[in-house]
């Protein structure tokens, strides 16, 4: 059976290998394999608890803020501090930093890491073959906007990304790896001028979001809640030339067979809604831990676990999180283990049933998709629920959920910024208004749950004799790209890639797009290898 191997797969930090068996032009089996052991959890053992958020930010250059947040929330709880013990100013600043990082990451993913697939030559052929001049015009417009390094939207997205980094740098000293989170709060005490600067950057970002991405105001977009609203939105631009419609119009209208070919009777679409979903013959769910302080609580975006097929939601229970290592290059236990008891003992064993350096996180022993689609579903966002109900979970809804979340979080940032201004104007400017300084405990257990841009992220810490005795991080991409667990269930991306059309083995753009729709933090994919011939193929960006 021919095997397609994409290694490395992603266009960011590279070490994910994805193998697919292909028969009859479709994917019949999959193996997702992390190719790198780093060992941060072992490095942290025996160190001062303050090292946790400094070291774990080095996990990654695109989501250091998420790791700082998970570490600091783990330390907050280990120090005996609950949400109300964190001063409100600190909660607002933590929110603003997490929001800026998430928006930056989502813009990067859509424009630089995922959308280059849309200008793959295969889509040019498909669009032209099916719809002649109309198809050629659609492809030309996609290419003009999304071609890496040259596309008009690509360039503006990269510029906007910089603005979000500046917001974090004002509050956190620098980016990546800011320096302001500490147990009990933050170290920065911003002035009104600092916040005014942040607001001016936000306004620049708003120009891009409204002119290029949405074509309407952020506020109006957030009123889009039903498939009917989506149709009305599309209708606003239907009379305009393609060169004048917003980016999201192109994606919504021409991205889905369900919209273009069913709703509009158009002869052509990219059919992104026809792959990247779940068969439903293995357990699968959507998991979110919740994120952003909301008043005295955590979880402006709500936590939850929603069944991947029925979309029935249940309350999240942190005790149900485990990691399996049966198919991972680790040793020490069988079945699943809660992260407090977790172990990271590497044992490379190629050619066995083990095939990845990623562990297999499971919720209630089920594989779970994490990320913007899971967050929007668990938050019961009306628009994403409508899309998921109409089209299912697939490349199309996963990508739209990420864009929609970006707009929601972007809009919310001003609320937090203005609340901070109000507090400062009211005189809440003492150091204790920003940090509840608390001594390091000799002994303490803590866990910090948050949402990284790519999904649910948890750090678990045990402090003994004032030092870190055990540290376990269960990371978003570990959930999404996990290998099989002790029960033999495939991980979410492994399941979602089954049945993906692979008409041309040398150019498996749909397969790459399915796995990339999870925004895995792994690699800069530039080639694929046919294992049989060992011939390398360029995954063309242009």
Interacting residues toward ligand NFE by CB under 6 A: 60, 62-63, 66, 105, 452-454, 457, 475-477, 521
**Partner that binds at residue 360, options Mg ion, ligand NFE, none, CB closer than 5 to 8 Å by kind:** none
**Partner that binds at residue 453, options ligand NFE, Mg ion, none, CB closer than 5 to 8 Å by kind:** ligand NFE
User: Residue 57's closest CA among 86, 98, 112?
Assistant: 98
**Partner that binds at residue 377, options ligand NFE, Mg ion, none, CB closer than 5 to 8 Å by kind:** none
* Least separation in angstroms between CB 446 and Mg ion: 16
Instruction: Rank residues 435 and 475 by Cβ distance to ligand NFE and give the closer one.
Output: 475
Residue number of the CB closest to Mg ion reads 473
* Least separation in angstroms between CB 524 and Mg ion: 23
Instruction: Rank residues 304 and 453 by Cβ distance to ligand NFE and give the closer one.
Output: 453
Instruction: Rank residues 344 and 517 by Cβ distance to Mg ion and give the closer one.
Output: 344
Q: Report helix, strand or coil for 306.
A: strand
The interface region with Mg ion, picked from 126-134, 162-170, 416-424, 466-474 by CB under 5 A, is: 466-474
Site string for Mg ion, 424-463 (x = CB under 5 A): ----------------------------------------
- Which ranges constitute the DSSP H helices of 345-450? 372-378, 382-391, 395-425
* Least separation in angstroms between CB 451 and ligand NFE: 8
For residue 433, the number of C-alpha atoms closer than 13 Å in the C-beta half-sphere is 12
When binding is defined by CB under 5 A, the residue of 473, 511, 525, 539 that contacts Mg ion is 473
Instruction: Rank residues 60 and 86 by Cβ distance to ligand NFE and give the closer one.
Output: 60
**Partner that binds at residue 214, options Mg ion, ligand NFE, none, CB closer than 5 to 8 Å by kind:** none
d(CA 454, CA 296): 25
Instruction: Rank residues 65 and 245 by Cβ distance to ligand NFE and give the closer one.
Output: 65
* Least separation in angstroms between CB 402 and ligand NFE: 11
Write out the E strands in 169-327: 181-182, 185-186, 285-288, 291-294, 297-301, 304-307, 313-314, 321-324
Instruction: Rank residues 63 and 384 by Cβ distance to ligand NFE and give the closer one.
Output: 63
CB distance 373 to 401 below 8 Å: yes
Does a cis peptide bond (omega within 30 degrees of 0) precede residue 8? Answer: yes
Instruction: Rank residues 66 and 112 by Cβ distance to ligand NFE and give the closer one.
Output: 66
User: Residue 474's closest CA among 338, 379, 285, 372?
Assistant: 338
d(CA 118, CA 146): 8
Residue 317 has what DSSP assignment?
-
How many other C-beta atoms are found inside a 10 Å radius of the C-beta of residue 303? Answer: 21
Q: Would you say how long the chain is, in residues?
A: 542
* Least separation in angstroms between CB 361 and Mg ion: 8
Residue 524 has what DSSP assignment?
B
The interface region with Mg ion, picked from 127-135, 273-281, 428-436, 473-481 by CB under 5 A, is: 473-481
> Beta strands 336-337 and 467-474: pairing type?
unpaired
Instruction: Rank residues 22 and 473 by Cβ distance to Mg ion and give the closer one.
Output: 473
How many other C-beta atoms are found inside a 10 Å radius of the C-beta of residue 353? Answer: 11
Q: How big is the site for Mg ion, counted in residues (CB under 5 A)?
A: 1
* Least separation in angstroms between CB 367 and ligand NFE: 15
* Least separation in angstroms between CB 342 and Mg ion: 7
* Least separation in angstroms between CB 538 and ligand NFE: 25
CB distance 403 to 213 below 8 Å: yes
> Beta strands 16-23 and 26-34: pairing type?
antiparallel
Residue 262 has what DSSP assignment?
I
Instruction: Give per-residue burial for 509-522: e unless 16+ CB within 10 Å, then b.
Output: bbbbbbbbbbbbbb
Q: Report helix, strand or coil for 341.
A: helix
* Least separation in angstroms between CB 110 and ligand NFE: 14
CB distance 304 to 320 below 8 Å: no
Tell me the torsion sign for CA atoms 286, 13, 361, 339: negative
**Partner that binds at residue 62, options Mg ion, ligand NFE, none, CB closer than 5 to 8 Å by kind:** ligand NFE
Instruction: Rank residues 470 and 476 by Cβ distance to ligand NFE and give the closer one.
Output: 476
* Least separation in angstroms between CB 59 and ligand NFE: 6
How many other C-beta atoms are found inside a 10 Å radius of the C-beta of residue 422? Answer: 11
* Least separation in angstroms between CB 69 and ligand NFE: 9
> Beta strands 368-369 and 285-288: pairing type?
parallel
Instruction: Rank residues 106 and 362 by Cβ distance to Mg ion and give the closer one.
Output: 362
**Partner that binds at residue 521, options Mg ion, ligand NFE, none, CB closer than 5 to 8 Å by kind:** ligand NFE
Instruction: Give the list of residues 6+ apart from residue 196 with CB closer than 8 angstroms, or none.
Output: none
Instruction: Rank residues 65 and 473 by Cβ distance to Mg ion and give the closer one.
Output: 473
Q: Enumerate binding residues for Mg ion (CB under 5 A).
A: 473
């Amino acid at each position: 059976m021919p095997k397609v191997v994409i290694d490395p797969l992603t266009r960011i930090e590279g070490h994910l290998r994805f193998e697919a068996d292909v028969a009859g032009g479709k994917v019949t089996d999959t193996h997702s394999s992390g190719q790198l052991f780093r060992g941060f959890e072992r490095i942290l053992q025996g160190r001062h608890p303050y090292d946790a958020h400094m070291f774990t930010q080095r996990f990654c250059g695109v989501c250091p803020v998420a790791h700082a947040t998970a570490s600091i929330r783990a330390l907050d709880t280990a120090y005996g501090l609950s949400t109300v013990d964190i001063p409100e100013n600190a909660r607002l600043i933590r929110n603003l930093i997490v929001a800026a990082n998430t928006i930056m990451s989502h813009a990067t993913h859509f424009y630089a890491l995922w959308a280059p697939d849309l200008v793959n030559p295969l889509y040019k052929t498909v669009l032209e073959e099916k719809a002649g001049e109309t198809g050629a015009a659609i492809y030309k417009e996609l290419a003009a906007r999304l071609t890496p390094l040259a596309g008009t939207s690509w360039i503006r997205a990269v510029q906007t990304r910089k603005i979000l980094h500046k917001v974090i740098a004002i509050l956190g000293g620098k980016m990546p790896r800011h320096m302001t989170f500490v147990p009990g709060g933050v170290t920065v005490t911003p002035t009104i001028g600092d916040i005014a600067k942040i607001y001016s950057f936000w306004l620049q970002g708003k120009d891009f979001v409204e002119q290029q991405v949405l074509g309407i105001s952020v506020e109006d977009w957030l009123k889009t809640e039903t498939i009917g609203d989506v149709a009305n939105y599309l209708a606003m631009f239907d009379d305009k030339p393609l060169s004048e419609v917003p980016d999201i119009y192109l994606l919504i209208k021409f991205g889905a067979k369900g919209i273009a070919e069913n709703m509009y009777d158009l002869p052509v679409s990219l059919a992104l809604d026809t792959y990247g979903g779940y068969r439903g013959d293995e357990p699968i769910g959507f998991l979110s831990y919740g994120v952003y302080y909301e008043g005295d609580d955590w979880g402006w975006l709500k936590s939850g676990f929603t069944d991947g097929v029925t979309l029935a939601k249940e309350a999240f229970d942190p005790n149900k999180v485990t990691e399996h290592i049966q198919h991972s290059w680790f040793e020490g236990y069988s079945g699943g283990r809660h992260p407090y008891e977790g172990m990271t003992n590497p044992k490379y064993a190629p050619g066995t049933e083990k095939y990845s350096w990623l562990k297999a996180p499971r919720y209630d022993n089920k594989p779970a998709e994490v990320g913007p689609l899971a967050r929007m579903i668990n938050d019961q966002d009306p628009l994403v629920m409508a899309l998921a109900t109409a089209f299912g979970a697939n490349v199309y809804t996963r990508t739209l959920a990420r864009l929609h979340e970006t707009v929601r979080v972007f809009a919310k940032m001003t609320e937090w910024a203005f609340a901070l201004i109000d507090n400062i104007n009211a005189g809440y400017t003492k150091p204790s208004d920003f940090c509840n300084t608390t001594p390091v405990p000799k002994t303490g257990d803590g866990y910090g749950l948050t949402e990284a841009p790519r999904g649910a992220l948890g750090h678990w810490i045990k402090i003994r004799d004032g030092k870190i005795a055990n540290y376990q991080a269960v990371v978003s991409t570990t959930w999404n790209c996990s290998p099989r667990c002790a029960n033999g269930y495939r991980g979410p991306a492994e399941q979602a890639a089954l049945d993906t059309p692979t008409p041309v083995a040398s150019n498996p753009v749909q397969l790459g797009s399915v796995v990339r729709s999870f925004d895995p933090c792994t690699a800069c994919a530039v080639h694929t290898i046919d294992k049989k011939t060992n011939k390398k193929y360029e995954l063309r960006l242009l």
